A and B are shown apart, each in its own frame.
Chain A
Amino acid sequence: MNTTNLVLLLLGLGLATFFYGRQKAYVVSKSHGGMRNMHSLPSQYGVMVSIWCALPALILVLFWKLAEPSVISSLLDSSIPAAVKELGEKSVGLYKNDIANLIEAGGISSDPKKEAVAERWIALSAISSWALLACVLCLAAVGAASAIRKIKPDTRARVMVERVVHWFLIICASIAILTTVGILCSVLFESFRFFQQVSFVEFVTGTKWSPQTAIRVDQVGSSGSFGAIPLFTGTLLISAIAMVVAVPIGLLAAIYLAEYATPRLRAYAKPMLEILAGIPTVVYGFFAALTVAPAIREWGELIGLSPSSESALAAGTVMGIMIIPFISSLSDDVITAVPQAMRDGSYGLGATHSETIKKVVIPAALPGIVSGILLAASRAIGETMIVVMAAGLAANLTANPLEAVTTVTVQIVTLLTGDQEFDSAKTLAAFALGLMLFITTLILNVIALYVVRRYREQYE
């Protein structure tokens, strides 16, 4: 019986015991002078029985399934030929992989020894799954029976049920923390392995990036070099172009929408701008690579320049278009939050509308605008698809926006989408880059959130 069916069976049992428990509560209440003498409602008794029946069993299934592979694998060790074991840990792992593939393929092999091991594996798995089924059914039965016996007037079923739900809520809320821990652990652990092979100083100060490590020792350029400076400058260049496009347009659009636009225009223009934020980044990437980049190349050639067909300018401009709505909607929010009294005061002194905006509203909203710009910058740095499709792969150390540069995210994608061993410095380098990216965006976000929080305290 596979895990999915087992879980479905347990959920079914849970549902059945709920109805039984509820019914039972009615029956019990009759001999105690009616429902009002019971501590909880009938359905709460039902839920209590259902929780006792299904929850321990589900937890058992979870732990069993987590432990099963390693237990079976260690039991199998005795049947693995000594010749394989002598070759070390790695070949035992390979041998086990072979067996796993063999089982998937139907268990027929040219090697009778392997077939025997495969049979033992299948037998062990079968024993495990039957044992699990037996244990789970026992646990469910015992749980349900003891809970049914507890259906009495003085059992506080509601309190018990609510406590379980409360813990469920806490566990769900903690998933956010678990995710952060998971991200940190995965990038830190792999980066640590990377920095054992390549020194940290070389990584953050080197100016040559060519991660191609040779497969054979005698190949040319057999050692890759991992100097990440060209990637950082490339990322900065593209993000800077994006900000140059997005900040003035986004900010002016926000000011116009918040201060000048009629409610009718605002009702149409604001959602239209937000469409820009809803378009998938892969679409922007396609647009950048096939429409904007050739156009820039043509115009550049018209005025006598020779832009690369993967110029930083194309990727940066399109990325700028993408983040216009982030800046405009965040700025719009803070500009509308500036108290009207401040504007009225400025008008009363004779300032024009634009002077009021420039001298009063913008300075008052500045912390919010700055944090919006920081969030947009963090988005630009972490943006992947536009640069993967429209920026180059070669790591050039240049500040010329017409040349091709590569970015951190592009390199992460190229390093991890090919076929290679997971332990090579090349794949591990992607995690080191991921760590840099995570830290950079984290710092930007923390600053932005801090600024926003302080600003809010000021005006509310």
Chain B
Amino acid sequence: MSLGATENSMNNSTDNSASDTVNTAAPRKDSTSIVKRTLAKRYAAEKRFRFYGAAAIGISLLFLAVLIGSIFLKGWPAFIETQVHIDVTYDTQTLGVENGATSQELKTANFYLLIKKTMRDMFPDVTERRERKELYKLISTDAEYQIRQNLIDNPNQLGQSHSFWVLADDELSALYKTGGLKDIANVTHTRLSDQQIAWTHTLEEQGRLRKKFNATFFKNGDSREPEQAGIRAALIGSILTLLITFVLSFPIAVATAIYLEEFAPQNRWTDLIEVNINNLAAVPSIVFGLLGLAVFINFFHLPRSAPVVGGIVLSLMTLPTIIISSRAALKSVPPSIREAGRGLGASRLQVVTHHVLPLAMPGILTGTIIGLAQALGETAPLLMIGMVAFIVDIPSSVTDAATVLPVQVFLWADSPERAFLEKTSAAILVLLVFLIVMNAAAVFLRKRFERKW
């Protein structure tokens, strides 16, 4: 179009009739009118596009909210446990021991019978065998160990009465702590029989039920009984594994990063190292598990299921992450620092250890924490090296059989009992808390110590 036409249409841009008269000669060739005609459409497209972008972010955040929300809703009851108040008489006859029995004799005494007798005394009108069996199921098998331990600690209580708060069975607990007992008509999932529910009502009316913070969850290892299962063993296992991971990966990663950034000559070997590190960063974690199984367990005969092997495998897995972020941190230290050091007569190693490394340390630590957080949440490679065992005992060294938090989550998620569902969610919440703390520490380190050169 000609320059005159442009000026004309610009002058009359608000006045349609004027521009029409000017352009009557060749209306089709005039770009301005085409632009004008399509402008509304284009602005609509602009708005739509913008909306798609915002929607994408909205959907992602919605997913995040649903994920966390559903786990929180499922998990919170696991932090509460239900206890039943029972009055136990340490009756020598029922226990099958005599007065002045040694603690060895007390250990083997029949506490199961005592519990049964206690329950029968609480509900004297239950006489039928089948009904009684249902009655005994209302309290956890843990009660037996609790009253036994008490008697062993205080042998003089033999023959006396004593009252206890003992753990309730998981089904009763699920009903009571979520408020389902008051609203029994709307409860759909319960394996308690009507009879058992009636007894539970009686217990509640007598004030024999109470809710407490579930300390058992943090004190016990795994258990087949949901109400006795805890995450302590898995937590300690995670800490031991992470310790090994840190001890191995941090020095090796920092040394590698220093070599590649400060010393490595430009040659094939260096290229090969760099390519390898970049590739390892994207190798699926399960392949590291295969490596651990074939090399460390079958070839070097390290113990199966042990945190030491888990730690080695996870450190190989996190090495690339830490190396890459350490290199970035070293790279961000300006060359003038190195030149100044060299100018004052320091050797290259002295420049690195005295100046570059301390300046890069916040960045390196941030990367390390992020790498360790990744290792803490990792499950698949640990399944390969046998850390999927049922662990009741708290592991005391890095060569004991152990499991870790994510694997515990995986094991519980497979359990058929409904009470394990809330345990799984609760274990996930604990895991997420650890991850949030670690990531917050990383962000804090970055914000607090980051230098702009």
Q: Check B294 against A187 for contact (C-beta < 8 Å).
A: yes
Select one of A290, A352, A381 contacting B413, CB under 8 A: A290
Interface centre among A173, A290, A328, A431 (most CB of B within 10 A): A173
Select one of B260, B319, B379, B439 contacting A179, CB under 8 A: B319
In the complex, B151 has a CB within 8 A of chain A = no
Q: Check A176 against B276 for contact (C-beta < 8 Å).
A: yes
In the complex, A291 has a CB within 8 A of chain B = yes
Select one of A165, A180, A276, A286 contacting B424, CB under 8 A: A286
With A281-B377, A357-B49, A416-B384 in contact, is A162–B320 under 8 Å at CB? no
The main secondary structure of chain B at its interface with chain A is helix
In the complex, A275 has a CB within 8 A of chain B = yes
Q: Which of B406-453 contact A (CB under 8 A)?
A: 406-407, 409-410, 413, 421, 424-425, 428, 431-432, 435, 439
Q: Which of B132-173 contact A (CB under 8 A)?
A: none
**Across-interface contacts of A282 in B (CB, < 8 A):** 377, 379, 406-407, 409-410, 413, 428
Q: Which of B326-353 contact A (CB under 8 A)?
A: 347-349
Q: Check A384 against B380 for contact (C-beta < 8 Å).
A: yes
**Across-interface contacts of A170 in B (CB, < 8 A):** 259
What is the size category of the interface that chain B forms with chain A?
35 or more
Q: Check A176 against B60 for contact (C-beta < 8 Å).
A: no
**Across-interface contacts of B70 in A (CB, < 8 A):** 287, 291
Closest to B279 in A: A445
In the complex, A127 has a CB within 8 A of chain B = no
Q: Check A280 against B431 for contact (C-beta < 8 Å).
A: yes
A290 vs B50: C-alpha distance in the bound complex, in angstroms?
34
**Across-interface contacts of A21 in B (CB, < 8 A):** none
In the complex, B53 has a CB within 8 A of chain A = yes
**Across-interface contacts of B74 in A (CB, < 8 A):** 290
Q: Check B380 against A385 for contact (C-beta < 8 Å).
A: yes
A372 to chain B, nearest CB (A): 12
A185 to chain B, nearest CB (A): 8
In the complex, A350 has a CB within 8 A of chain B = yes
In the complex, B252 has a CB within 8 A of chain A = yes
Q: Check A283 against B409 for contact (C-beta < 8 Å).
A: yes
In the complex, A17 has a CB within 8 A of chain B = no
**Across-interface contacts of B260 in A (CB, < 8 A):** 173
Q: Check A165 against B349 for contact (C-beta < 8 Å).
A: yes
- Chain A proximity mask over B39-71: 1 for CB below 8 Å, otherwise 0: 000110110011011111101110110110011
Closest to B380 in A: A384
In the complex, B10 has a CB within 8 A of chain A = no
The main secondary structure of chain A at its interface with chain B is helix
Closest to B282 in A: A445
Q: Check A431 against B294 for contact (C-beta < 8 Å).
A: yes
Q: Check A168 against B255 for contact (C-beta < 8 Å).
A: yes
Partner-binding segment picked from A216-224, A246-254, A392-400:
A246-254
- Chain A proximity mask over B269-299: 1 for CB below 8 Å, otherwise 0: 0001101111110111111101101110010
Q: Check A252 against B290 for contact (C-beta < 8 Å).
A: no
A449 vs B295: C-alpha distance in the bound complex, in angstroms?
28
In the complex, A98 has a CB within 8 A of chain B = no
Q: Check B291 against A385 for contact (C-beta < 8 Å).
A: no
Q: Check A183 against B319 for contact (C-beta < 8 Å).
A: no
Partner-binding segment picked from A56-64, A140-148, A197-205, A433-441:
A433-441
With A186-B291, A383-B284, A422-B298 in contact, is A177–B273 under 8 Å at CB? yes
Q: Check A275 against B53 for contact (C-beta < 8 Å).
A: no
Closest to B57 in A: A253
Q: Check B279 against A180 for contact (C-beta < 8 Å).
A: yes
Q: Check B46 against A382 for contact (C-beta < 8 Å).
A: no
Select one of B273, B280, B284 contacting A381, CB under 8 A: B284
In the complex, A189 has a CB within 8 A of chain B = yes
With A169-B256, A253-B56, A445-B282 in contact, is A276–B64 under 8 Å at CB? yes
In the complex, B113 has a CB within 8 A of chain A = no
Q: Check A441 against B283 for contact (C-beta < 8 Å).
A: yes
A435 to chain B, nearest CB (A): 9
Q: Which of A154-184 contact B (CB under 8 A)?
A: 158, 162, 165-166, 168-170, 172-177, 179-180, 182-183
In the complex, A308 has a CB within 8 A of chain B = no
Q: Check A253 against B53 for contact (C-beta < 8 Å).
A: yes
Q: Check A434 against B287 for contact (C-beta < 8 Å).
A: yes
With A168-B255, A174-B273, A286-B413 in contact, is A186–B295 under 8 Å at CB? yes
**A interface residue numbers (CB < 8 A to B):** 69, 158, 162, 165-166, 168-170, 172-177, 179-180, 182-183, 185-187, 189-190, 248-253, 255-257, 259-260, 269, 272-273, 275-276, 278-287, 289-291, 321, 324-325, 328, 350, 352-355, 357-358, 375, 378-379, 381-385, 388-389, 409, 412-413, 416-417, 422, 430-431, 434, 437-438, 441-442, 444-446, 448-449
**B interface residue numbers (CB < 8 A to A):** 35, 42-43, 45-46, 49-50, 52-57, 59-61, 63-64, 66-67, 70-71, 74, 251-252, 255-256, 258-260, 263-264, 272-273, 275-280, 282-288, 290-291, 293-295, 298, 301, 316, 319-320, 323, 347-349, 373, 376-380, 383-384, 388, 406-407, 409-410, 413, 421, 424-425, 428, 431-432, 435, 439
CB-defined A-B contacts under 8 Å, sample of 25 = A69-B301, A158-B347, A168-B255, A174-B273, A177-B272, A186-B291, A186-B294, A256-B56, A275-B64, A276-B63, A278-B373, A278-B377, A282-B410, A287-B67, A379-B284, A385-B406, A409-B284, A409-B286, A413-B383, A417-B384, A434-B286, A437-B284, A442-B283, A448-B282, A449-B275
